[in-house]
Amino acid sequence: MNGKTTVLLLSPEIGRLPQDMGTLARFISGKSGGMGEVVAALCEGLRERGIDFHLGTLNLKKRFKEECGLNEEQWRDIRYKIDPDRIHLVNASFIANLMSAYSGNPLLNAATFQKQMVQHFIKTIRAKSGGKLIIHSHDWMAGGAITAYAKATGCPVLHTIHNVHTGHIPLDMLFGVDIDLLRDFFYMSNEHGQQTIDCQATAIKNASLINFVGVQFMYEILEDYFLDRTVLSPAVRQEIKVKYNHGATLAILNAPSRLMYPEVCPFLVRNYGPDDDVFAAKRKNLVAFQQRTGLIVNPEAILFYWPSRLDPSQKGVELLEDVALRFVIENGDAQIAIVGDGVGRDRTHEAILGRIAMASGGKIAYHHFEESLSMLGYAAANDVFGASLYEPCGQIDQIGNLFGATATNRDTGGYHDKIHELRLDSEESDLGAGNGFLFRDYDSGGLSHALSKSIRFHRHPARLRERHIKHIMRETRNLYDLSKMIGEYVAVYERLNGNKSLA
C-alpha cells in the first residue's frame, strides 16, 4: 500500500509512451489519434511530477508487434519476462489480431475492456492505494460499465470527451459483471430490439466531472449545433447539458507530447527548431517526402498536407476530393499529399484519392497511414489542412504549427479555438499575428477559398515568411506547452481528491 491517491488512466488506445515509464512501455506504444497522444502526454507529465498513476489499455498485440518489428517468440519473451508494473493490458484472442481498438467488432472490444477493468484491474489497483483512486476515462469505450461501477462504489471519475461517438453495448455482452449492482447507473437504450447501454451517455451521467478538449465545441453542443446531422445522439447532448447546468463541465485544451517536436522526431532526415534555418531543413525533408510518395521532386514546391483519416462524417474528405485536382492545375507551384486510412472497412475514399493522385501526374500523392511517413509529411509541409464538419479539438493544426507550417481548416470547434487568421498583404508588412486560414461554409467553395488564401501567403518572399513561421513555431510551443496542460489536469485530480495534493 503506497498511501498516495492513484490516478488510473483508461483509454482503448495510447500514443508513444515515455521511455522511463518502464521497459514494457516502449513495446506497446505507437502512433495513435489525438486521444492516444493526449493520454501518452499525460503519462509523460504525471511521471515528471511524481504522481502515482496506472494505465489501462487494450492489448493490440498485432499492432504492437508490427510497430516494433517483433516476431511471436520475441513478443512472448517480452510479455512473460517483463513486469508490466503500471501498465495493464486487456487481453482477448479477438483483440490480439486487431490494428485498432475500433477494428473488428468495436462493441465486443469495448465490452471486454469494461468487463476486465471492472472485474479485475480496478479492484487490484484501488487496493494497492488503500482505496484512494481517481479514474480518468477517455472515450466511450472506457465509459459504460466502468463509470457505472465507479459511481456505484464511490470512486471519483473525470471523463474526457475526445469525440461524441458512442457505442450501445447489449447487456448480454457484459456477462459476468454484476448488472444488478450497476443497473441504476446505466443510461439504457434500445438498439434493434435489444436492451443496450449507451456508453458515452453513461460515462457522462456518472462522471464527477466531464472535460472537453476544446471550449468552442462544448458551446456548439450546448447551443444545439448540428441538429440536422447525426453528429451526436440526443442522449449524449442531454447528459452534457445536465452536467453543464450543475457546474460539472471543464475544457482543457490538448497539448502535444514533446516527443512530437521536430527537434527530436526520429522520422525526419533533418531535425530542426525555431532557432535553426527552418526553411533549409524543411526543403531537405520535402525532397525526402516527395521521393517516398512519388510526388514530383521540387524543393520549391508549396506542399499542402492532409494527415487526417478519410472520414466523410467528420473530416470532410469529400470536399478534398472535389477541389484537389483543380487546385493543383490552377496553381502550378502547389502539391497536395494525403496520408491517412479510410474508416473501418470502408475503402471508398482510398480508391477515389488513389485515382485522383494517378490523374495528377505527380502533383498529388495518396498513401495509407504509416507513422514515419506521416511525421515526415509535417516536416515537408508548407500548410497542414483539413475540412472538418466539427472538431472537438483537433491536433493536426498544432503539430503543423510546431513543424513550421501554417494551418488551414473550417472555423469550427477546436480549429476556431486555435487557428487565428494570418494576414501578410504586402512584402513590407509587419510581423503581426495569426497562424493559419479559416473558412466558414462546409462546402468545396469554402475549402478552395481558404487554400487560395494560404498559397498567397506562401508565395511571399522567404525572408518575410520565415520570420512569421518562426514566430508561429515559438508561439505554439508557448501556448500548448505540455506542462500547462498537465497542470490543469492535476488541479482537477486534486479537486476530486478533496483538494488535497497528489504528489
- Torsions phi, psi for 308 (to 5 deg): -95, 160
- Find residue 57's DSSP bridge partners: 89
Res. 225: pLDDT tops 60: yes
Q: In the prediction, which pLDDT does 349 show?
A: 96
pLDDT for 66-89, tens place per residue?
888 888 888 888 888 777 788 899
Residues 6+ apart with CB under 8 A from 300: 283, 333
pLDDT band with cut points at 50, 70 and 90 for residue 15: confident
Q: In the prediction, which pLDDT does 430 show?
A: 55
Which DSSP category does 5 fall into? Answer: P
**Which segment of 21-35, 98-112, 131-145, 326-340 scores lowest on mean pLDDT?**
21-35
Q: If you average pLDDT over residues 418-432, what whole number do you get? A: 70
Q: If you average pLDDT over residues 143-156, what whole number do you get? A: 96
Domain residue ranges in the chain = 6-22+33-52+114-255+482-496, 258-479
Q: CATH top-level class for 258-479?
A: alpha beta
Q: In the prediction, which pLDDT does 194 show?
A: 87
Which three cell numbers, joined as nine digits, stand for 332? Answer: 502550378
Q: How large a percentage of the chain has pLDDT more than 70? A: 96
Q: Look at the pTM and tell me if it is higher than 0.85.
A: yes
Cβ atoms of 418 and 430 closer than 8 Å: no
Between residues 88 and 320, the one the model is more confident about: 320
E-assigned strand segments in 125-201: 133-138, 157-161, 168-170, 188-191, 194-198
Q: In the prediction, which pLDDT does 411 show?
A: 97
User: 478 exposed, middle or buried (CB, 10 Å; 0-12, 13-18, 19+)?
Assistant: exposed
Res. 234: pLDDT tops 80: yes
**Which segment of 98-107, 108-117, 323-332, 428-437 scores lowest on mean pLDDT?**
428-437
pLDDT for 22-49, tens place per residue?
778 778 765 666 788 888 888 888 988 9
Q: In the prediction, which pLDDT does 134 show?
A: 97
pLDDT for 169-188, tens place per residue?
999 999 999 999 999 999 99
Which three cell numbers, joined as nine digits, stand for 484? Answer: 500547462
Cβ atoms of 502 and 4 closer than 8 Å: yes
**Which segment of 245-259, 272-286, 361-375 scores lowest on mean pLDDT?**
245-259
Cβ atoms of 86 and 46 closer than 8 Å: no
What is the average pLDDT score of the chain? 92
Q: If you average pLDDT over residues 117-128, what whole number do you get? A: 93
Q: In the prediction, which pLDDT does 429 show?
A: 52
Q: If you average pLDDT over residues 232-256, what whole number do you get? A: 94
Domains 6-22+33-52+114-255+482-496 and 258-479 share a fold: yes
Element (H, E) at 438: strand 436-439
Which strands form 406-410's sheet, in the order they lie side by side? 364-367, 334-339, 302-306, 383-385, 406-410, 436-439
Res. 341: pLDDT tops 60: yes
Q: CATH top-level class for 6-22+33-52+114-255+482-496?
A: alpha beta
Which strands form 188-191's sheet, in the order they lie side by side? 168-170, 194-198, 188-191
Q: What is the Cα–Cα distance from 370 to 449, expressed in whole angstroms? A: 30
pLDDT for 379-420, tens place per residue?
999 999 999 999 999 999 999 999 999 999 999 999 999 999
Counting Cα atoms < 13 Å in the Cβ hemisphere of 401 gives 30
